[in-house]
Amino acid sequence: MLRAAQSWPLSLHVATTAAAVAAVCLFQLPIEREVPGEPFLPFLLVVITATLVFGSTAGFVGVGLSTLLSVLFFEPVGSLAVSHAADLIKIELYALVASGSVVAFSRVGSVFKAASQSADSLKELNERKSILLRELAHGVANNFAAVAAYIRLRSATVNDAQAKAVLDEAIEQIRMMGLVHRRLRAGDRHISLGSQAFLESLCDELKASLACGRPIAITCDAEDLPLSQDRASSLGLIVNELVTNALKHAFPGGRSGSIRIGFGTSKDGHLKLWVEDDGVGFAGRKLRDGGLGQELVMGLCDELKGRLEFKTSEKGSSFQLSIPMHTLAPYFDPHAPALVH
């Protein structure tokens, strides 16, 4: 509303200021006849307001008009004549103070206007950057898909079983990187995203792509905490690797079962990520027999400055990653809500 008023033409600024001064005069004049006093303070408030809203021109118009009308409040009341020299001095002092106020508050108004314009420019710039980043993220995600499709096409021509397994593993990692990237670009401002929504949507994707048609339930129980994008990407890749590993090794022969994914705070002030299954276990077996999966998970754990613990038995296996809280998001507050969902 204030900006709309500032955009009015100068004539409307002046007319509005004059109307306000006249209204104050008409309000005060009947009171002056009953309780004599000086009218300067209400007039000065109108002048300052007009200066801040409309600028110095309207302010000086207010000074001139209010100075003239203030004569009506001195003896003889209601007349433009002044009986006492002291009253005339008061009126002249008011005109001087009001003029000084116009100069001072017009500068203040200019500072506020410049700050407002600067804030608008920054907001517009951030919106443009956000659009560019979303477009860039979309292109990067598509590139991941194109690379995975190309490797899959080349893999079909490879006869060596070991080489084919390595290529298939690389395809999985590239596909998951693209998936994580698409999840990250869902935020409007690319600041951070909520762990709960991110991991739950990731689990849904894993169910659809990896466990499709198999009697295996994949569930997710995650607290809603803010994650920076790079940390969310690392956690997403770890979850993908551990779930893929469980699906490949923990449920042989079409066996049914469940995989549980969790994320939240622990009593020792750390954050915990865990992936558990109730499969057959794989004692003595490393992640993917020491393949790319093991190297990827351990490398990502080191990047997160985390500690990975692994337990297995004939009743299932569990992986628990303990992560220092300060590594997840800049200025992390465990009680603050996630910025992006």
Q: Domain ends where: 121, 139, 170? A: 121
For residue 61, tell me if it sits in a domain.
Answer: yes
pLDDT band per the 50, 70, 90 thresholds, residue 277:
very high
For residue 39, tell me if it sits in a domain.
Answer: yes
Cis omega (within 30 of 0) for bond into 39: no
For residue 162, tell me if it sits in a domain.
Answer: no
pTM for this prediction:
0.52
Q: For the chain, report the end-to-end CA distance as a whole number of angstroms.
A: 32
Same structural domain, 110 and 205: no
Q: For all residues of the chain together, what is the average pLDDT?
A: 81
For residue 63, tell me if it sits in a domain.
Answer: yes
pLDDT at 21: 93
- Report pLDDT digits (tens) over 253-273: 888 999 999 999 988 888 999
Q: Domain ends where: 77, 103, 121? A: 121
Domain extent at residue 319: 192-327
For residue 117, tell me if it sits in a domain.
Answer: yes
Same structural domain, 116 and 204: no
Long-range CB contact pairs, 84-92, < 8 A, 24+: 90/38, 90/40, 91/67
For residue 218, tell me if it sits in a domain.
Answer: yes
Same structural domain, 204 and 78: no
pLDDT band per the 50, 70, 90 thresholds, residue 144:
confident
Rounded Cα distance between 252 and 280, Å, is: 8
Same structural domain, 71 and 197: no
How big is the chain, counted in residues?
341
pLDDT band per the 50, 70, 90 thresholds, residue 184:
low
Query: Are the CB atoms for 191 and 340 separated by under 8 Å?
Result: yes
Least confident piece of the model among 99-108, 225-234, 271-280, 327-336: 327-336
Rounded Cα distance between 199 and 170, Å, is: 22
- Report pLDDT digits (tens) over 125-136: 877 776 776 666
Per DSSP bridges, beta strands 257-265 and 270-277 are antiparallel
- Helix H or strand E encompassing 229: helix 229-249
pLDDT mean over 236-247: 87
pLDDT at 60: 94
pLDDT at 220: 94
pLDDT at 339: 36
CATH classification at residue 227: 3.30.565.10
For residue 171, tell me if it sits in a domain.
Answer: no
Number of domains in the chain: 2
For residue 185, tell me if it sits in a domain.
Answer: no
